[in-house]
């Protein structure tokens, strides 16, 4: 089995230092909406400069290099045990090369492992077997701690918010999450929302949906409309980039629906900061393609 560790180190480097173009384009468009000389415009301009510098110098876009979340879509024949080992080795190497800050802290003993490995759970790796004729594909998201802290989960009905078990209720709790986050999740953010599931699966899906491109809409027209509406309405709250006020609080919203138990109706909102680092690596025989 081919050792992909060097390619995975490069994959981590790209994810940590080179923000995807679709995110950068949306941030550039947002600058134009902010008043000249405003703190909001200044914050966005600084963010954009930072993105350019990180790309040019191959340094992390943010000092918080985030929780690494991998998804591996593997055709039959690959060993998940070996793929996990390659990812973990690559993470150690990427940390040595300073593409990643050592971020894995033992929650009980408060010890930083120093290499971004921690037990079986850090980094997070999800595996999915695909058809034999499909290529081996890795996806990686680096999810910042500040934005993770402002994620929220709601069990509907939430009477204090007047939110029932329907899409109108989902809208209310999602806006509540944005309002409560203020600028603390390093706005402008991207909302990943999962409706249904149990507490665990719902949170996982609310992050998984964030792997989609900016502007990609749910195929369900009702959910697509709610995605647009939540982005627009979040931008009327006056929170703005880094909480400085202004027009740009959220640059996109992504929603996914799940099945649920009759007794439960969870809505999980994962908030992703402007440092929306997510990339894909595809292995086609000897060729490796980075998106």
Give me the least distance between CB of 15 and ligand SF4, in Å please: 12
User: CB of residue 239 vs ligand SF4: minimum separation in angstroms?
Assistant: 14
Nearest-approach distance from CB 150 to ligand SF4, in angstroms = 9
CB 36, min distance to ligand SF4, A = 24
Contacts (Cβ under 8 Å, ≥6 apart) of 111:
105
Order of strands, sheet of 250-257, starting from the edge strand that comes earlier in the sequence: 152-155, 266-272, 189-195, 250-257
Least Å distance, CB 250 to ligand SF4, is 14
Q: DSSP secondary-structure letter at 241? A: G
Q: Pick from 61, 146, 48: which is nearest to 100 by CA?
A: 61
- The dihedral formed by the CA atoms of 194, 67, 5 and 95, expressed in degrees to the nearest 10: 170
Shorter beta-carbon distance to ligand SF4: residue 43 or 86: 43
Between 70 and 266, name the residue whose CB sits nearer to ligand SF4: 70
Q: How far is the CB of 100 from ligand SF4 (least distance, A)?
A: 12
Q: Based on CB atoms, which residue is closest to ligand SF4, 66 or 169?
A: 66
Spatial separation of the C-alpha atoms in residues 275 and 283, rounded to whole Å: 26
Q: What residue ranges bind ligand SF4 (CB under 6 A)?
A: 62, 64, 66, 144-147, 185-186, 273-275
Nearer to ligand SF4, 62 or 255 (CB): 62
Residue 217 — φ and ψ, nearest 5°?
-105, 155
Among 56, 47, 43, smallest CA distance to 17 is for: 56
Minimal distance in Å, beta carbon 52 to ligand SF4?
16
Q: Which is nearer to ligand SF4, 185 or 240 (CB)?
A: 185
Residue in the shown chain whose Cβ atom is closest to ligand SF4:
144
Task: Kindly report the three-state secondary structure assignment for every residue of 136-194.
Answer: EEEEEEEECHHHHHCCEEEECCEHHHCECCCHHHHHHHHHHHHHHHCCCCCCCEEEEEE
* Residue closer to ligand SF4 (CB basis): 44 or 62: 62
Please give the Cα distance from 154 to 36 (Å, whole number): 38
CB closer to ligand SF4, 141 vs 275: 275
Nearest CA among 269, 123, 134, 120 for reference residue 206? 269
């Amino acid at each position: 089995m081919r050792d992909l560790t060097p390619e995975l180190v490069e994959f981590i480097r790209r994810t940590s230092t080179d923000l995807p173009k679709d995110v950068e384009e949306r941030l550039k468009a947002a600058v134009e909406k902010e008043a000249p000389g405003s703190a909001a415009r200044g914050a966005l301009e600084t963010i954009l400069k930072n993105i350019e510098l990180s790309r040019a110098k191959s340094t992390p876009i943010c000092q918080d290099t985030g929780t690494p979340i991998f998804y591996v879509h593997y055709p039959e024949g690959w060993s998940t045990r070996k793929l996990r080992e390659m990812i973990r080795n690559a993470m150690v190497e990427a940390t040595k090369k300073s593409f990643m800050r050592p971020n894995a802290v033992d929650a009980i003993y408060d010890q930083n492992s120093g290499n971004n490995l921690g037990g079986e759970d850090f980094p997070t790796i999800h595996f999915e077997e695909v058809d034999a004729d499909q290529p081996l594909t890795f996806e990686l998201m680096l999810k910042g701690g500040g934005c993770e802290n402002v994620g929220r989960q709601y069990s509907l009905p939430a009477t204090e918010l007047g939110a029932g078990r329907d899409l109108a209720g989902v809208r209310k709790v999602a806006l509540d999450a944005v309002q409560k986050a203020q600028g603390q999740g390093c706005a402008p953010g991207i909302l990943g929302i999962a409706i249904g599931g149990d507490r665990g699966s719902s949170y996982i899906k609310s992050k998984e949906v964030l792997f989609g491109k900016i502007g990609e809409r749910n195929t369900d027209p009702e959910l697509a409309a709610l995605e647009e509406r939540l982005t627009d309405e979040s931008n009327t709250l006056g929170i703005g980039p880094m909480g400085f006020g202004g027009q740009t609080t959220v640059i996109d919203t992504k929603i996914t629906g799940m099945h649920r138990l009759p007794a439960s109706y969870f809505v999980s909102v994962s908030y992703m900061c402007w440092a929306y680092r997510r990339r894909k690596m595809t292995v086609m025989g000897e060729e490796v393609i980075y998106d």
